Amino acid sequence: MGNRNPLIAGNWKMNKTGPESVATAKTIATLASNSPAEIEIMIAPTFTALALVAEVISSSRIFLSAQNLYWEEKGAYTGEISADMLLAAGCSHVIIGHSERRLYFGETDNTINKKIKTAINAKLIPVFCIGESEEDRESGKTFSVLDKQVKKGLEGFSSTALATLIIAYEPVWAIGTGKTASKDQAQEVHLYLRNLIDKLLGNTLANSIRILYGGSVKPDNIKELMAMPDIDGALVGGASLDPETFGKLFNYLK
């Protein structure tokens, strides 16, 4: 196993105004100040709150992530946001290909591939989301769906280019539904993904790449998920909106 520091990441989705985000981030920063140093913490507020939150967490060890970006540098793309804008707002990470983006906004493996390329070129750390639907799982297609998402999403990259990449496995059927993959189901998929990276991009990357689990992660299941050998962290939605709950997640060792 490579040196894979656990990462607990909170995706706030379309929640919290600027002032609400600032208040939440302040509390999280306080809770993070005495949490175990080897556990990395990341939060992803909405675009309008990024610069405000960046200021609040600047002296903390919390990483700031955006929830999306566009692959062009600038231009006539109304409503989109570029890598440079995210860097200027204080981001170090960006979530790419979240299942909600795929589902509601027509993102494809191909556009996600372009976004990953743009993030890497800008020195932003991509958090690349993949996952199967309930229908896929019930018809036994979990691995073929993930296979395609990973191969197409990472097409054309060398293992060195992907050195900072983080993968987030989110079974779509477990997002916000209260259903969670059992720790064994999650471990089985994470191990499959690690072996797939090994096949596609070699052993070094496979050992060092962090694969997060997302999908109804809560204080009462985080410990058992994190105990699995191939689960390197969590990408958390709902449970990251309340700072106390989120604090319990990144303090799961206490």
pLDDT tens string 124-144: 999 999 999 999 999 999 999
Residue 2's pLDDT is: 55
For residue 224 the two structure tokens come to 């058992």
Q: Find the DSSP H helices in 59-123.
A: 83-89, 99-104, 109-121
* pLDDT tens, position by position, 105-127: 999 999 999 999 999 999 999 99
pTM across the whole model: 0.97
d(CA 137, CA 175): 14
Residue 1's pLDDT is: 47
For residue 159 the two structure tokens come to 């293992």
The CATH number for 7-250, chosen from 3.30.365.10, 3.40.50.1220, 3.20.20.70, 3.40.50.2300, is 3.20.20.70
Catalytic sites, residue numbers:
98, 170
Closest CA to 170 of 64, 95, 70, 220: 95
d(CA 24, CA 140): 40
With beta carbons less than 8 A apart as the criterion, state whether 154 and 193 touch: no
Is 74 exposed, middle or buried, given 0-12, 13-18 or 19+ CB atoms closer than 10 A? exposed
Closest CA to 131 of 156, 117, 112: 112
* pLDDT tens, position by position, 17-36: 999 999 999 999 999 999 99
* pLDDT tens, position by position, 175-199: 777 787 899 999 999 999 999 999 9
**Between these two residues, 180 and 39, which has the higher pLDDT value?**
39
